[in-house]
């Protein structure tokens, strides 16, 4: 498992005379062939998803603003963006005290910045951030897939990410698209040996979601692997990137701890009030027992199938001998989702940014496209229809937490 296949520059490169960029140099930095087509495919599917949400809202009497920008966690982010932290709590029916410190600051910070410099409302700004981050993430996914496997697999990767069952949550006021954009570009920078960029983007990812430390873990382990492979003869930027990577996540956790009076444990107590903790799968087992005894409509069985499919895909990713940085990132997030407590209906959303899991099916589908294009098109079309319709259902109709 190698983190890069890109040769390093020669040691005398700094002493070469300045000259005009060559055509080869310019080609190296242009948009890869096929990227615009892949992004157009991604945009078409996700715009269809937004249209389905609006149509479902019209048929059921739900406002578009509520469905897209003011559902579930979105309300907490918008309140933080408008009023700051420490001003909103919720007392649960069981007496638990849920505080806004559970939500990481990058997304509401960007929303607040947009509302400060523009006439946008907080809801509009939140949607703009999410809608801007989603294609950035899709383009990063294409670049990563193109670097590792070529144009066909890269296009298929973007297409599969667009048609995931919960991909609609990339286009509502949630943090998944922002986190995915930062994560994919950070891991891409690792593959290209751009360690300072990788660490900086990982630090920002750590400020966007509680699971953001998965990016820092992937960067750190990939840096250690590279150092071992080169017997310590690595640039100082590698160590700097590895040290920068976890600063965002640790910084926010310590800030919450200082605000709560418990520097090291305060943040985890806040999350525990939200029933969000690593319980080694005990919560998942309780959910399975309740599901088999009492049923769970549509959303909960679908969530279970999605989680189980992701576990299988992680096994295939390991067998596929993917780069270590991708395996670590995917493994940490899959472990957190499967062995963490919390609402099971939210787990597919947490798995949305785990794009490396799509590499094995993308490679298989790209091979199918070469020999049986009609069959591959049928598969993608069916997945797109399910994604659009199911996305509208979970956002507008279902009353389960997103």
Q: How confident is the model at residue 24 (pLDDT cuts 50, 70, 90)?
A: very low
Q: How confident is the model at residue 11 (pLDDT cuts 50, 70, 90)?
A: very low
* pLDDT for 28: 52
**pLDDT tens across 127-161, in order?**
999 999 999 999 999 999 999 999 999 999 999 99
Residues of the chain with pLDDT > 70: what percent? 91
CA distance 85 to 339: 29
Cα Rg, the chain, nearest whole Å? 22
Which of 329 and 97 is assigned the larger pLDDT? 329
Q: How confident is the model at residue 60 (pLDDT cuts 50, 70, 90)?
A: confident
Q: Residue 261: is it exposed, middle or buried by C-beta count within 10 angstroms (0-12/13-18/19+)?
A: exposed
Give the lowest-confidence range in 65-69, 128-132, 334-338.
65-69
* pLDDT for 18: 40
Q: Is the pLDDT at 21 greater than 60, yes or no? A: no
HEC secondary structure over the chain = CCCCCCCCCCCCHHHCCCCCCCHHHHHHCCCCCCHHHHHHHHHHHHHHHHHHHHHHHHHHCCCHHHHHHCCCHHHHHHHHHHHCCCCCEEECCCCCEEEHHHCCCHHHHHHHHHHHHCCCCHHHHHHHHHHHHHHHHHHHHHHHHHHHHCHHHHHHHHHHHHCCCCHHHHCCCCCHHHHHHHHHHHHHHHHCCCHHHHHHHHHHHHCCCHHHHHHHHHHHHHHHHHHHHCCCCCCHHHHHHHHHCCHHHHHHHHHHHHHHCCCCCHHHHHHHHCCCCECCCHHHHHHHHHHHHHCCCCHHHHHHHHHHHHHHHHHHHHHCCCCHHHHHHHHHHHHHHHHECCCHHHHHHHCCCCHHHHHHHHHHHHHHHHHCHHHHHHHHHHHHHHHHHHHHHHHHHCCCCC
Asked whether the beta carbons of 388 and 48 are under 8 A apart, the reply is yes
* pLDDT for 342: 81
Mean pLDDT for the stretch of residues 2-30: 42
Q: Look-up: residue for tokens 């670097």?
A: 147
pTM: 0.89
Q: How confident is the model at residue 300 (pLDDT cuts 50, 70, 90)?
A: confident
């Amino acid at each position: 498992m190698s983190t890069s296949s890109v040769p390093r520059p020669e040691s005398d490169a700094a002493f070469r005379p300045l000259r005009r960029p060559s055509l080869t140099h310019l080609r190296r930095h242009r948009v890869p062939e096929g990227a615009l087509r892949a992004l157009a495919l991604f945009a078409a599917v996700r715009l269809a998803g937004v249209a389905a949400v609006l149509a479902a809202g019209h048929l059921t009497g739900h406002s578009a603003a509520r469905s897209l920008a003011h559902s579930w966690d979105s309300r907490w982010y918008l309140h933080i963006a408008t009023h700051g932290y420490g001003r909103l709590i919720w007392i649960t029916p069981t007496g638990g005290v849920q505080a806004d410190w559970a939500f990481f600051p990058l997304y509401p910070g960007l929303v607040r910045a947009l509302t400060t410099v523009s006439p946008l409302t907080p809801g509009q700004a939140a949607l703009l951030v999410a809608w801007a981050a989603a294609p950035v993430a899709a383009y990063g996914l294409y670049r990563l897939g193109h670097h590792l496997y070529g144009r066909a697999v890269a296009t298929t990767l973007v297409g599969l990410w667009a048609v995931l069952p919960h991909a609609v949550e990339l286009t509502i006021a949630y943090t998944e698209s922002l986190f995915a954009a930062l994560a994919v570009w950070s891991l891409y920078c690792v593959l290209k040996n751009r360690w300072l960029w990788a660490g900086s983007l990982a630090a920002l990812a750590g400020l966007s979601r509680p699971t953001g430390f998965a990016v820092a873990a992937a960067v750190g382990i990939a840096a250690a692997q590279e150092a071992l492979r080169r017997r310590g003869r690595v640039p100082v930027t590698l160590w700097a990137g590895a040290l920068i990577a976890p600063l965002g996540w640790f910084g926010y956790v310590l800030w919450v701890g200082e605000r709560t009076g418990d520097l090291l444990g305060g943040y985890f107590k806040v999350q525990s009030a939200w029933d969000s903790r690593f319980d080694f799968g005990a919560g998942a087992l309780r959910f399975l027992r309740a599901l088999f005894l009492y049923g769970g409509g549509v959303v909960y069985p679908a969530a279970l199938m999605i989680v189980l499919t992701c576990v299988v895909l992680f096994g295939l990713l390991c067998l596929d001998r993917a780069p270590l940085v991708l395996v670590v990132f995917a493994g940490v997030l899959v472990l957190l989702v499967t062995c963490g407590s919390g609402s099971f209906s939210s787990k597919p959303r947490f798995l949305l940014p785990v794009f490396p899991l799509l590499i094995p099916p993308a490679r298989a589908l790209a091979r199918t496209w070469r020999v049986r294009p009609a069959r591959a098109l049928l598969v993608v079309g069916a997945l797109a229809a399910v994604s659009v319709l199911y996305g509208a259902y979970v956002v507008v109709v279902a009353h389960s937490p997103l």
